[in-house]
Structure 1
């Protein structure tokens, strides 16, 4: 602690007079004369507020649309990723297979390719023939060399075609067949009629 010296305003007071802490200007604080004043709204702030309120529905719509678009993309990615992975794996397997093919692979591939070229040569005229003949002759050539795989593909294709035909038949039947009429309700008898009967 230190010693505090205070000067007296006049010499009337004796130097032996002690001053209290409240009398020293160092320890007193003036009474605050502050009060809160609400700031006035300027033209810029008013314009920003109006623009924000006007754009709020559009911003909400944009956020919802973006969120639904992101969900759709994530769903499509989740569905497509396994298919893409299996396609990439099939390509890698095919590359490994072609690096060291069995000895009869290239002659068989040549015969199947020649069958496709022969189909293109025979399919003069319509576009339908140009689609059916080469693919049909290549399928026949492949089924000669790979009968087990051909029978599995034919069975799966036949089942799929049967299912599609059945669905088409049911859809056409629903379109052609008139809708069943609702049963007519009998009018209720009044209590007077019930007592007469």
Structure 2
């Protein structure tokens, strides 16, 4: 039995009608089959034994090749799993850098060119000495960066100066102790009591 709404004007849309459905009487009733009467549920008769099929020459060669290459494939899979995370982080870094370069602040590229030009000038002026080649380019680049970022340069100079002073003081103490120890040994050897 089903209930159906009529399609019509808005005032008649709430009327319901009862509809009764009955099966056709001319069809003969079907007898359903039981599950054990179906052919795929029948248990086969007789004794069956599993016999493994012999390998062909091609299958044997592939098996030997897999067995021989197993350590190499394991190494490749391990290397891939290790480098996959690094490559994903590198790709994310590249996407973040691209996103940053799309929305850079004004003057970013002019500052970058200034830093690079200062480093190139330092490289050109550092002729003859390897120490100059190590000191001049970063020094000139740092000088150019300090022009654009004076507050950060002052903080960096203060922290670096303190660390450099501490490092120098430690080296001075070590050299002083070594110097005193060396001359005390020489003084004890030349003293008149030992002669």
TM-score after normalising by structure 2:
0.42
Per residue, is there more strand in 1 or in 2?
2
